[in-house]
Amino acid sequence: MAQAAKALTYQAFIKSFNRDKIAPLYYIYGTEEYLKSKSAKLIINRAVPEEYRDFDLVIFYGDDCQTVDVLDAISTKPFLAENKIVMIRKFDSLRSNIQQKIIDFLTNNDFFNTIILTADNLDNRLKIAKEINKLGVVVQCRSPYKPEDMLIWINSEIASHDKTIDKEAALIFANRVDMDYMTASNELEKLLLFCIDKKKIGIKDVQTSTGLSKTYSVFDLINAVGERDATKTFEITENLLENKESA
């Protein structure tokens, strides 16, 4: 038996999406709501023109939908657009038998639309996970674990705005923002506005734009001292003083 395809990371997905055909199904899962929302928006923007979305974009919520309505939407052809999106948010909040019924329907019937399912988890040990992998594209959106994750994200986002960023500037940005893509996105928006007339973003741009946006704790200071990182120790000390946090 063939193994289920490995889930794409968010970064891998956005790199390949525009050059690939639109898949019949996208299963977008993980703990990072911001990336899940961006992934779904990317698909919607490509598949259904904005002026047709009142008719050809149907969104359900797993904790508040009827199976018959979902299956009816899936099996109905687009009204105006060439494609139609049927999206189920919180798909994993549906009862397991209802999830299976929807996936069985997709497996056993021809359908004309693109299906987006978002969820927190996907257990690859289960039969339904293998069927989902066969039907379409699986995208994992996880929260950043370390500054290196944020570094990959910032370089990708900067490139999508037709700009470049100095390597050291990207490192400073990754270390200064909280390990949360929504927060980082807000900081990135400020940085892009600050550099609106620039093609390349430098160290001073990041320092001026972000300031001391990340709130450190005394434990971060202890770790920096233990790692003998003088630069980070100074930055954290300055941050703690700025935020009046005491040991």
pLDDT of 152-190, one tens digit each? 899 989 998 999 999 999 988 988 888 889 989 999 999
Of 84, 63, 54, nearest to 72 by C-alpha is: 84
Examine the pLDDT at 5 and tell me if it is beyond 70.
Answer: no
* Mean pLDDT value across residues 38-61: 96
Sheet (strand 25-29) strand order: 8-9, 137-140, 25-29, 114-119, 85-89, 57-61
Q: Tokens for 182, please give them.
A: 């929504």
The answer to whether the pTM exceeds 0.75 is: yes
- The H or E element spanning position 233 is helix 230-242
Report which DSSP code applies to 91: G
Percent of the chain with pLDDT over 70: 90
What is the reported pLDDT for 246?
Answer: 44
Q: pLDDT tens across 100-152, in order?
A: 999 999 999 888 899 999 999 999 889 999 999 999 999 999 988 888 889 98
Torsion from C-alpha of 30, 31, 36, 37, nearest 10 degrees: 160
Q: Tokens for 136, please give them.
A: 């379409």
Q: Tokens for 28, please give them.
A: 């977008």
